Amino acid sequence: DQQVKQNSPSLSVQEGRISILNCDYTNSMFDYFLWYKKYPAEGPTFLISISSIKDKNEDGRFTVFLNKSAKHLSLHIVPSQPGDSAVYFCAAAGGGADGLTFGKGTHLIIQP
Amino acid sequence: GAVVSQHPSRVICKSGTSVKIECRSLDFQATTMFWYRQFPKKSLMLMATSNEGSKATYEQGVEKDKFLINHASLTLSTLTVTSAHPEDSSFYICSAFSGTGNYGYTFGSGTRLTVV
């Protein structure tokens, strides 16, 4: 049973446009959400996070939106750049140090 | 920022041998470390959680006798794949949790294990 779902395995966006990556979760005990970027054969790199008490967090070109009632979050990247091409993982954490639950990832491809 | 060093980055071993993967937190003390495994085209799956000085907690379906985890200090956790088989070939990633401030999950760079 997948508790964190990323329903789009891949997404293609033109350079300069906005990339929107979506993530849904089922466990209402999750209270913290993170987005990671991952290149092949490398560990994930932290991008941005959001606490469940907020509905938006912004860091440069990256913005994460959280809709708790819908159990949905999204990562917006604007403007998209070629270096943004990678796999993006959505992850969720419950209370305490109990590891992260990851979605399956979305492969973002930025086209010139 | 927090740095986690993981090595080796890639290792090839023969079936039946054991392989040890190290995960070190370089500039902070990690009260808890996590070991993940990534199968091709699949998500990162949590294998086990290790707390310094105590036994690791394994996720359902993970063989604790095959994947030995030791967290002997606040800066070092090791994963030993014992009696490796080709099906153990995978990408293993560690993560350290500092337990302070923000959700301080920092990942190592991963280890590509190939069992031949």
Which pLDDT does position A1 carry in this prediction?
63
Q: Which residues of chain B have pLDDT under 50?
A: 101-102
Q: Which two tokens stand for residue B25?
A: 């937190």
C-alpha distances in Å from residue B25, one per residue of A38, A54, A73, A108, B108 = 20, 30, 30, 30, 9
Q: Cα B7 from chain centroid?
A: 10
Residue A66 structure tokens: 């959280």
pLDDT digits (tens, 9 = 90+) for B96-107: 876 554 456 788
Chain A closest-CA separation from residue B85 CA (Å): 20
Q: What is the pLDDT of residue A64?
A: 98
Q: Give the closest residue to B114 by CA, choosing from B93, B87, B96, B94.
A: B87
Q: Which of B4, B10, B105 sits opposite A100 (nearest CB)?
A: B105
Residue of A93, A98, A105 with shortest CB distance to B49: A98
Q: What is the pLDDT of residues A60-96, one digit of tens each?
A: 999 999 999 999 999 999 999 999 999 999 999 875 4
Res A97: pLDDT? 42
Long-range CB contact pairs, B15-19, < 8 A, 24+ = B15/B84, B15/B85, B15/B86, B15/B115, B15/B116, B16/B83, B16/B84, B16/B85, B17/B83, B17/B84, B18/B80, B18/B81, B18/B82, B18/B83, B18/B84, B19/B80, B19/B81, B19/B84, B19/B113
Distance from CA of A34 to the nearest CA of B (A): 9
Q: Looking at the partner chain, which of A41, A93, A99 has a beta carbon nearest the beta carbon of B112?
A: A41
- 3-state DSSP assignment of residue B21: strand
Q: Is A45 on the interface with B (CB under 8 A)?
A: yes
The model's pLDDT over A30-70, given as tens digits with 9 standing for 90+, comes to 988 999 998 877 778 889 999 999 999 999 999 999 999 99
